[in-house]
Amino acid sequence: SISITSAHLDRFDYDQAGVLTTQVTIVVKFQNDNAKAHASFYDAGFILGFHGLEIAKLVSEPFDVSKNSSIEFNYQVESTPIPLGPQVGDIADRSIKQNYITFNLKGTARTRWRIGLVGSVKFW
């Protein structure tokens, strides 16, 4: 399983020219609940979004998780300056004033379990 264990908004700058720059720290946990087989995660990738705009891509190289164990990755995501249209700009401005910013994170990963002499089983 994959879960977000913590997220922190390090910076959220929206200037008068309508340009957004943001930095977020996200901790993603990859869990292998299988007590009998090691798991390999690969093709793991996530998209961080802000009201329909892609802010950043989070990716990782293939990695293994031991039996009945987990591993956490700290992603520090910094966007390039993003020009916002009037509608999303209003949302950014309102979010700052309300001190409440909403992001979404979507992604996938493929998993392979090594099962003794049988070989491996893949899921995606």
Taking the model in full, what pTM does it have?
0.84
Contact 57, 45 (CB under 8 A): yes
Neighbours of 55 (CB within 10 A): 22
Which of 36, 56, 32, 53 is CA-nearest to residue 109?
A: 32
CATH tag for 2-123 (out of 3.30.43, 1.20.1440, 1.10.1330, 2.60.40): 2.60.40
Contact 23, 56 (CB under 8 A): no
Domain chopping of the chain, boundaries: 2-123
Render each residue's pLDDT in the chain as its tens digit; 124 residues.
Answer: 999 999 999 999 999 999 999 999 999 999 999 998 999 999 999 999 999 999 999 999 999 999 999 999 999 999 999 999 999 999 999 999 999 999 999 999 999 987 765 555 555 5
